[in-house]
Amino acid sequence: GPSSPLDSLGGAFSSKLVYDFLLERRLTVSDCLERSLRKGGGEEQAAAATVCAQLCVQLGGGDEGEEGFKILRPVLSAIMIDGCASVAARQSCARALGMCCYVSAAEDGEDLVKSMSHLESVFTMSYPNREGTLPTPNAGTPGLHGAALHAWALLVTLCPASRLTVLLDLHLPKLQACLESSDVNYRIAVGETIALLVELGRDIDREFEFEDSDTLCESLKGLATDGNKHRAKNDRRKQRTIFREVLHYIENEDFSEEKIRFGVEGIYIDSWMRRRVYDAFKEVLESGVRHHLQFNPLLRDIFGLGPPLILDSSVKSSKISRFEKVTPMAYDCLQTHLPPAHNHSS
C-alpha cells in the first residue's frame, strides 16, 4: 500500500541523528505519538509504536529518553495486551516496549519488571497447557508471540543474577516444549531465546545444567536436519542454520561470530547476548543501524566503541521539514509546534 506519513517520519529517525531537534520538542513528539497510539487505527498505531522505539534510540539512555518512556510505556503495554487491538499494532508495540525499556529503564527496576511481565503475559499464551498440549495459534499470533518473546529476551539481558535464576527455572522447560510449534519463525525465536538463556545461566554459574538437556538436544537435532517437504525451502534452510548454531552452542559452547562493518570500524557479534541486542537495534533502525553505530553515542556505548571517530555532518544539514509528514492525528498536533521548513541548499 502507499507508505503512511508516519513511515517517512520513521525513516528520518532511523537514518539521521536529529537529536537537537528532538530534544527541544521531545514532549510534543511524544504527545503526538501518544495521540496516534490511543486514537489511531491499527496501521497508524503500528507505525507510531515503531517511531516510539526510534525516538528512544535517538534520545539515548539519558533523562530525556526516560521521560518519554514514562509517558509511552503504559499506552504501549495497554495496546500490546489488548486482545481486541489489531495484531500488527500489538506486535509493533511489543517490539517498541522492549527497545524503549532496554534503552530507558535500565536504571529503574520497576519499569523493567512491569514491562517484562506484560511481555510474558503475551508470549506465554503459546506455552503448553497442563496436559502438555500446545494451543492452536490464530492467524497472526505466532508473529505477535515471537515479537514479545524477542523483546522479553532483550530485557532478560538486563536482569540481575538472582532474578535470572528464577526466570531460567520457570521458562526453559516451557520454551523447550514450544520448539514443537507449528510456526517456523516462532520456533526460531524460541531456539534463539533458549540459547541466550543457557548462555546467561552459564555466565552466572560455570556448572549450569538444566533439566533434561538430552531431550532438548534431540529436539534441536531434529530441527537442525528438518527435511519436512511441507515447509517452504527458505524457511527450512533458515531453521536448519539457526538450530545447528543453537545445538553447537548447547553441546560445546561454540558460537560462530560475525563481524559487522561500518565506516572504518566494526563490531564482533560473538555471543547470543550481543546478537540479541544487535538484532533488536536492526529491527528498529533497519538500514540505519550502521549509521547509528558510527555516530549515536548510545549504540557506541552499548557496543563498547568509545566516542564517534568523526562528527556527523548530516545532522546539521538534515531537513527538519521531513518531520511534518506525520500521521493525520499527530500532524495537526505537531503543526502548531514545528518551525517553518528551512531550505538549507543554496
184-204 and 161-178 are packed helices; what angle lies between their axes, rounded to 10 degrees? 150
| Alpha-carbon torsion angle 28, 33, 39, 40, nearest 10 | 130
Measured in degrees and rounded to the nearest 5, phi and psi for residue 267 equal -125, 150
Q: pTM for the whole thing?
A: 0.84
**Cα 255 vs. chain centroid, distance in angstroms?**
22
The CA–CA distances, whole Å, from 205 to 38, 61, 157, 210, 277 equal: 44, 30, 15, 12, 22
Tens digits of pLDDT across the chain (346 residues): 445 555 655 555 554 444 455 556 666 777 888 888 999 999 989 988 998 898 888 878 777 777 778 888 999 999 999 999 999 999 999 999 999 999 986 555 888 999 999 999 999 999 999 898 999 988 899 999 999 999 999 999 999 999 999 999 999 999 999 999 999 999 999 999 999 999 999 999 988 887 778 889 999 999 998 766 666 777 788 899 999 999 999 998 999 899 999 988 999 999 999 999 999 999 999 888 999 999 899 999 999 999 888 766 554 433 333 333 334 455 555 555 544 444 344 3
Q: Are 155 and 171 in contact (CB under 8 A)?
A: no
One-letter amino acid of 247: L
- The angle formed by the CA atoms of residues 314, 296 and 32, to the nearest 5 degrees, is 80
Q: Which three cell numbers stand for residue 247?
A: 545445538
